[in-house]
Amino acid sequence: MNRNVLLLSGCQALLTTGNILLVSVVALIGQGLTNNPSLTTFPVATQFIGLMMATIPASLIMKRIGRKNGFYLGNTVGICGALICVQALTASNFYLFSFGTFLLGIGIGFGTLYRFAAVEVCPEEHKSRAISFVMAGGVIAAVVGPQLAVSSQNMFGEAQFTGAFVGLVGLYCLALIMLFFTKIPKEDSSTQVSAEQRPLIEIIRQPVFIVAVVVAMVSYVVMNLLMTATPLAMARCGYTFASAAQVIEWHVLGMFVPSFFTGSLISRFGVYRVMYAGVVCNLMCIGINLNGISEWHFWSALLLLGVGWNFMFISATQLVTSSYQPAEKAKTQAANEFMIFSMVTVSALSSGWLESSYGWQAMNWMVLPLVLWALSVMFFIGSKQSSSPATVSG
């Protein structure tokens, strides 16, 4: 794998470390800053609102100023958001904290495009492996993110978790340094403008695009709903924060360790078979959660949830890159990211309310139809695009 993919993988690792850090602490911070249970995950929701709002502008801005400058901008916004969160925690200000996570979401919105940048700096035949390799940077995040959350819990006295956001500033600064040494070729905008482009509605009506978006959307929504609610559910069951952080660590390992071989699996078996494997993992996760609330149930189910997300999301990313021509890249990627993360935002906003109102196991029953919907879209719509699940490969 070439040097630029390695550096982008490092940037992705730093971004994901920050994301897992946020998953571990934001819902608990929200619970501590407000007495309204329905607002517990509001800071999580504002983070995803920022992410959703950034998806379309991020692609279009990068088309104008280049990938590298776009990533510089996103990391800078993330640093500002983390500093605001530090101030909000010091002042115990719930809404200022929510604004800080909103800015963090914008920075993350730019960072979600690292995986597309990896495709652009490697040969065509290595495309799926490059996506997987960049996503594999999350293995570092799986260990560092939760441990940073635990170690920083009381670093600044009564303002719990303030140290986590100081650490977040450091992570984003390291990403800026790594970006400085990354070479991402600039595209010839004049060629893109002159090239023939299809209307966006025509692109998104393709079976390949529909399958890619639905699978990515469902994988992320189900994962986000259950992952965000896990620290709250475990606290309600009497487990310590350290136990919840360890479960999140196993979950993130499930999300990213498979990335070392997901690209090879796609090349060998095709995106559809890998997607089906992801669906099976999700169904097993739901089954385990419905059968108990021991610590073993939590970590094994969340591990499978992570593996299912990995298989479905990386396969969907690979699939969506085959739905557009180079001149159509910016608007198609923007539409793809917006559709996915608008639904993820809704899931983040509702996660805390669903867990407090209906309980952990009821949430698992609620996500089951989503997984079955993705399965039906793959089976019925995907068959229009490919007569065999293995025909689309890396």
Q: What is the pLDDT of residue 387?
A: 39
Q: Which of 5-9, 84-88, 150-154, 337-341 has the lowest mean pLDDT?
A: 150-154
pLDDT, average across residues 352-376:
90
Helix axes 259-269, 295-320, angle to 10 degrees: 50
**pLDDT band, residue 394 (cuts 50/70/90):** very low
* pLDDT at residue number 191: 47
Predicted local distance difference test score (pLDDT) of residue 17: 83
d(CA 94, CA 74): 24
> Residue 194: how many CB atoms within 10 A of its CB?
10
Tell me the pLDDT of the chain averaged across its residues: 84
Entry pTM:
0.72
pLDDT digits (tens, 9 = 90+) for 127-186: 667 766 776 667 777 777 777 777 776 776 666 788 889 888 999 999 999 999 988 877
**Average pLDDT rounded to a whole number, residues 198-226:** 91
* CA distances in angstroms from 252 to 45, 137, 331, 370, listed in the order given: 20, 11, 30, 21
Question: What is the C-alpha to C-alpha distance for residues 129 and 118, in angstroms, rounded to an integer?
Answer: 10
Helices 138-151 + 162-180 axis angle, to 10: 150
pLDDT of residue 390: 37
Contact call for residues 233 and 285 (beta carbons, < 8 A): no
| Per-residue pLDDT at 232 | 83
86-90, 95-99, 269-273, 333-337: least confidently modelled range: 333-337
> What domains can you pick out in the chain, each with its CATH number?
3-184+200-385 (1.20.1250.20)
pLDDT band at residue 389 under the 50/70/90 scheme: very low
C-alpha dist (Å) from residue 37 to 28, 69, 160, 349, 355:
11, 40, 19, 12, 10
Residue 306's pLDDT is 93
Task: Give the residue among 262, 275, 277, 326 at the shortest CA–CA distance from 128.
Answer: 262
- Phi then psi for residue 186, to 5 deg, are -80, 140
- At residue 195, the pLDDT reads 62
Q: Answer yes or no: is pLDDT of 193 > 60.
A: no
Q: What is the mean pLDDT of residues 259-266?
A: 83
- The pLDDT of residue 385 is 57
**The predicted structure's pLDDT at residue 393:** 39
Nearest to residue 393, comparing CAs of 271, 265, 301? Answer: 271
Token reading at 333: 């990627």
pLDDT surpasses 80 at 366: yes
Q: pLDDT band at 392, cuts 50/70/90? A: very low
pLDDT score at 213: 93
Q: Which residue carries 């923007």 as its tokens?
A: 334
Question: Of the spans 5-9, 230-234, 270-274, which averages the highest pLDDT?
Answer: 270-274
Reported as a single tens digit per residue, the pLDDT across 14-53 is 888 888 788 778 877 888 888 887 777 788 888 888 988 8
Question: Do residues 184 and 314 lie in contact, with contact meaning Cβ atoms separated by under 8 Å?
Answer: no
Find, among 319, 316, 334, 336, the residue nearest to 70 by Cα.
334
The proportion of the chain whose per-residue pLDDT surpasses 90, expressed as a percent, equals 30
Question: By C-alpha distance, which of 380, 205, 223 is closest to 311?
Answer: 223
Residue 237, H or E segment: none
Q: Which of 136, 149, 187 is nearest to 11 (CA)?
A: 136
Give me the mean pLDDT over the 262-271 stretch: 86
pLDDT for 132 equals 67
At 391, the pLDDT band (50, 70, 90 cuts) reads: very low
Helices within the chain (DSSP H only): 3-33, 42-65, 67-91, 94-111, 114-120, 127-135, 138-151, 162-180, 189-194, 200-204, 207-236, 241-256, 259-269, 271-289, 295-320, 329-358, 360-380, 382-385
